[in-house]
Structure 1
Amino acid sequence: MTVRNKLLPLNFAIALSLGLAGAATAAEPAPLFSTPAAALARSADADITFKAVKAERAAVRVDLVRADTRQITDTQDRLLLNLAPGVSLTAHKLQAQTKADGIVIWQGMVGDPNAQLKRINQFTGAELVDNPEESAILVRQGDQISGTVRSGGKLYRIDPLKAGGHAISLIDESKMPEDHPAAYAALPYTPVKLDPKFDEAKAGEKAPSVVRVMVVYTQAAANAVGNTLTKANLAITESNQSFANSAVNVRFELAGQYTDSYVSAGFDTDLSRFAGTTDAYLNSYHTTRNTIKADVNVLIITDPAYCGLGYLNSSAANAFSVVGASCMTGYYSFAHEIGHNFGAHHDPSNGNNTIYPYGHGYWGPGNAWRTIMAYSCGSNCPRLNYWSNPNITYNGSPMGTAAKSNNARVLNERAATVAGFR
């Protein structure tokens, strides 16, 4: 794997990039997207991915575009993201890599680096990153891109189409599906004995625990996301950035991704079938799991009603979850459901974590934002790519409490155990 920049807390990466900025002046990049040819525009109406994207309730605007994917390389310093009429954003590279399978992962900060640096300097050292609401993650395989861009309080999602071209969706997060079906409350969980000797302050002194993730798509979900490999890598990358943001000493690694002819029967039934070993549904993936050494396992389905369902505080036997394709990335349901497998729970108003009293999500002051595990706290309450942690701040405010909302601690405590499931 070729790695150009190691994954870093974003404020350090910004300072580094600013230090290098004076060394050379790069030409302004060409726009990444352009108007599609007439033939592509005609074929898109019948494209199975384009139809799935346009059918999403939260996708309040969907544009068909061509993408100059050649720009997305691990050496590209800037991208001009013309996401919609009148919306043209410059993204500055923070880190990028080309994996052994040729997948390119490009992460950047949107906007003026100097303005972002001033913002960072306004707050204390607990402000580990700049602003997750001004970010871009793009994953490329050949001429196809999966990506998410956040800027100005808006979320954009980029999906490759089967017929060529890409769909750029403006997502209204207030219209996203509910997090879980009612069956969530009845799911079994694995009790544990808390380690009184766990030292949270020393959690980051060891090498990160690597948790390998198997992703299985139903055929309907594969059709909806366009490219299953780039989408899985996007979900993994977003999750890893959340760990870097939140002082969580964990790294996800994609163990394998597959597409199956299984037809979804609803979240609760699908979860039971995916985890079961003797029910004649999806059973071969237990052998696959052992072969590829996947610690946790995620089934991706299409369901407009909910975002996901996962077992809480899993053992190796039930480290399984189900995630809706429309919620998988950008809304962070992929990380949310695996977070349940670790033992992380919702905000205190929407669940009582009887296993880890401190293991809840968090609503920010004035319900201005929420962490990954927290339920919605209003129509203007975006889910940030952070785990609750009282030792980290966002805009100067702590992102949790020691007594109730410290999911980062839960993940750090469980990291070695979950990483050892296979």
Structure 2
Amino acid sequence: MFKPTLIASALLSSTAVFAQGPLFEVSSQQMANSVNAAQANMSQLSGAQFQLTSNTASLSLPVDGAQVHFTRKNASLSASGNLIWQGENDNGDSVTLVQTAKGISGTVKTNGDVLKLKPVGAHGHQLRTLKPEQMPPEHQPGHVMPEGPLAKQVSVNNSPSIFAQPQAVADTQIDLLVVYTAKAAQLSGDIDALIDLAINETNQGYQNSGVNATVSLAHKAQVNYTEASSSGTDLNRLAGTNDGYMDEVHGLRDQYGADVVVLVNDVNGYCGQADAIGASASSAFAMVDYDCATGYYSFGHEIGHLQAARHNPENDPTNSPYTYGHGYQDPSSQWRTVMAYNCNSGCTRINYWSNPNKSYNGTAMGTTTRSDNTRVLNITSPTIANFRSGGTPPPPPNELENGQPISISGANGSETLYTFEVPAGASNISITSSGGSGDLDLYVKYGATASQNNYDCRPYENGNNESCTDTRAGTYSIMVHGYNAYSGATLVASYEQSGSDLPIEITESNLSGSQGQWQYFTVDVPAGASTVDVSTSGGSGDVDLYVRQGAQPTTSSYDCRPFRSGNNESCSEAAAAGTWHVGLRAYSNYSGVTLNISVQ
């Protein structure tokens, strides 16, 4: 299924706004491929694990003995709190990487090839090239998916003329419950990253094609289930409500308001299966092999069946519920869309849904009469997005008051969120847990929700005595995780502030940025203040300082902009009560800069 890719010198190298370590030395080992028991090369890091950040400006991956360079296109956090880093280069290559505590997983598209990256072991990563001619069949031979009530209703109640100008609903959100088996979690290398990557790729395919919908992770969970010898049996057990197999998924679906349920497992020789073409709420179930879910886009493919999309007409000539509801393949150019089967000559599956109004390398990606999956998805997605109505939202975070201790207890594996607001001018900021029995872990994140994959501070000590400190004014998110069950512990967050609001002194250290990048800071100036003094100093490169009262500064709107070479710049303004905004813009790459804000 995969062509071995030998990585001879490094797994990843990067250029980031923070200094990175040297290239990693790697060795080559062998690892079995689960789908066809073939062998694939594995690359093993000998140094510390590579770390991405949202500020990583560029990175290189070794492909066929050469380093392929990518620059950052976008960096964001998934619903699970994992970093998703997307890059591209001038050759049209692209990469999507997901970083979790286990390492880095992702999909790489370069020179017409698709490669998959996943962590293996403590510091190992495996990079494999996807070979479409070696991929297993999408479904079992002879498998015919029934048309669900949604498809039948559409087919009976609507004439073709109604769909001449389909009215799609923008930003339709389909909420997913993704469950997985222990075997899929083991073989995938990092099941959390795989799920985040599958959702990201599905949404990217929608965006590429003009599908006005998104899929969103409502919840994920491991099920206590061992795969059967038949993938059809697995799917029937997933959808069954009282058969003694995975019955808990139905309660989870209702609890989290999931419109669709997807099982990630180790399918025996096939990529996946859906319960219906055009599903109802009771048949909105699909399963996908962990090794086909990403890079080969089978995760989105199986959901597409539930949305009433069919394969290409050469392999599936059925014309209901939509005559134009098929995928598309172009054998001459050797590519095919998400719903299409492979060509006889071998066609790479690309992350696009058939659409005659879109082109790929100058060729239309569908036809108006037979192949327009995009049109189908825009019609059916609003119905599917209302199979469930939101579920029970998680409780809001608990707000901590300055210096007021609270008693906390939690079960093994529990996660409880708190927030803490720190005003401007505060000092000696600390968040501490102590006492009681058991073992809790403290996770603290400034300006975003804390999680096991997203934190600024995690002491990770035995027992309950843990502490984090910081210097920044603003909102802190605190997550207490039960490493083991704990009880009778104390949690307290505190800061110190002088009796007067003045003076206010704020220092931000070790700031970095890439060319053209902005960073913003604010300070609330009280009545009675006389001056606002702002300065930058130290480090390397060239950062420009901007100061403005009442709104974020821009290159054309500001109260002060020294605009000097290097990093030593300062502004002194007569104070007026209200919010003052400080902007740092990278005239060129800079690092190690210190920002000081003083209000007198």
TM-score bucket (shorter structure): 0.7 to 0.9
TM-score normalised by length of structure 2 = 0.57
Partner in structure 2 of residue 218 of structure 1: 181
- Report the Cα offset of residue 387 of structure 1: 0.2
Ranges in structure 1 where 5+ consecutive residues have no aligned partner: 1-24, 46-50, 117-130
| Structure 2 spans left out of the alignment, 5+ residues | 1-14, 389-600
Counterparts of 1:401-412 in structure 2, within 5 Å, are 401-412=367-378
Q: CA deviation at 1:258?
A: 1.4
1:34 to 16, 24, 28: 24
Question: Is this contact kept in 2: 1:59–1:171, CA < 8 A?
Answer: no
Amino acid in structure 1 at the alignment position of 2:289: G
In the other structure, the counterpart of 1:95 is 74
Greater per-residue helix proportion:
1
Which stretch shifts more, 25-34 or 380-389?
Answer: 25-34
Question: Taking every aligned residue pair, what percent have the same amino acid on both sides?
Answer: 38
For residues 34-93 of structure 1, the C-alpha deviation after alignment (integer angstroms, 9 at most, x for no partner) is 3348xxx8xx87xxxxx45x4443976422233876542222221111245x13111122
- Cα distance in 2 for residues equivalent to 1:381 and 1:212: 31
Give the deviation of 1:187 after TM superposition.
Answer: 3.5
Q: 1:363 to 1:165 in 2, by over 3 A?
A: same
The question of whether the paired residues in 2 share the 8 Å contact of 1:147 and 1:234 is answered with yes
In the alignment, which residue of structure 1 is the partner of 2:310?
A: 345
**Alpha-carbon spacing, 1:193–1:143, altered in 2? closer, same or farther (3 Å):** closer
Q: Which secondary structure does the structure 2 equivalent of 1:350 belong to?
A: coil
Superposed, which structure 2 residues align to 1:249-264 within 5 Å?
249-264=212-227
Question: What residue identity is the alignment partner of 1:152?
Answer: N
After TM superposition, the structure 1 = structure 2 runs for residues 127-166 of structure 1, keeping only pairs within 5 Å, are: 131=92, 134-166=93-125
Residue correspondence of structure 1 range 13-412 to structure 2 within 5 A: 34-36=24-26, 51=31, 54-57=33-36, 61-66=40-45, 71-84=51-64, 86-99=65-78, 101-109=80-88, 111-112=89-90, 116=91, 131=92, 134-182=93-141, 184-185=143-144, 187-190=146-149, 191-193=152-154, 195=158, 196-198=161-163, 200=165, 203=168, 206-265=169-228, 266-310=230-274, 311-351=276-316, 352-364=318-330, 366=332, 368-412=334-378
* Secondary structure at the counterpart of residue 337 of structure 2: coil
Instruction: Describe the shift of the 1:68–1:409 C-alpha distance in structure 2 as closer, same or farther (beyond 3 A).
Output: farther
Distance 2:23 2:170 in 1: 39
Deviates more, 1:257-266 or 1:231-240: 257-266
**Equivalenced residues, count:** 364
CA offset digits 1:186-245 (Å, max 9, x no partner) = 535331225554575753xx5310111111111111111121111100000000000010
What secondary structure is seen at the aligned counterpart in 2 of 1:216?
Answer: strand
C-alpha separation between the residues in 1 aligned to 2:24 and 2:238? 41
Looking at structure 2, the residues matched to 91 and 270 of structure 1 have their Cα atoms a distance apart, in angstroms, of 40
Shift of 1:337: 0.4
* TM-score, length of structure 1 as denominator length: 0.79
Query: Following the alignment from structure 1 to structure 2, what is the Cα–Cα distance between the partners of residues 389 and 32?
Result: 45
Q: Is the 8 A contact 2:278 2:306 kept in 1?
A: yes
Deviations 1:312-338 (A, max 9, x none): 110111101111111110001001000
- Inter-CA distance 170–62: structure 2 relative to 1 (3 Å threshold): farther
Aligned partner of residue 185 in structure 2, secondary structure:
helix
- Contact 1:213/1:295 (8 A) holds in 2: yes
1:368 & 1:412 partners in 2: Cα distance?
27
State how far apart, in whole Å, the 1-side matches of 2:146 and 2:167 are.
Answer: 33
| Distance across 1 between alignment mates of 2:56 and 2:222 | 32
Q: Distance in 1 between matches of 2:212 and 2:300?
A: 15
Displacement of 1:98? 2.3
Q: How big is the shift at 1:171?
A: 2.3
Contact residue 59 and residue 169 of structure 1 kept, 8 A: no
8 Å CA contact retained: 1:74, 1:96: yes
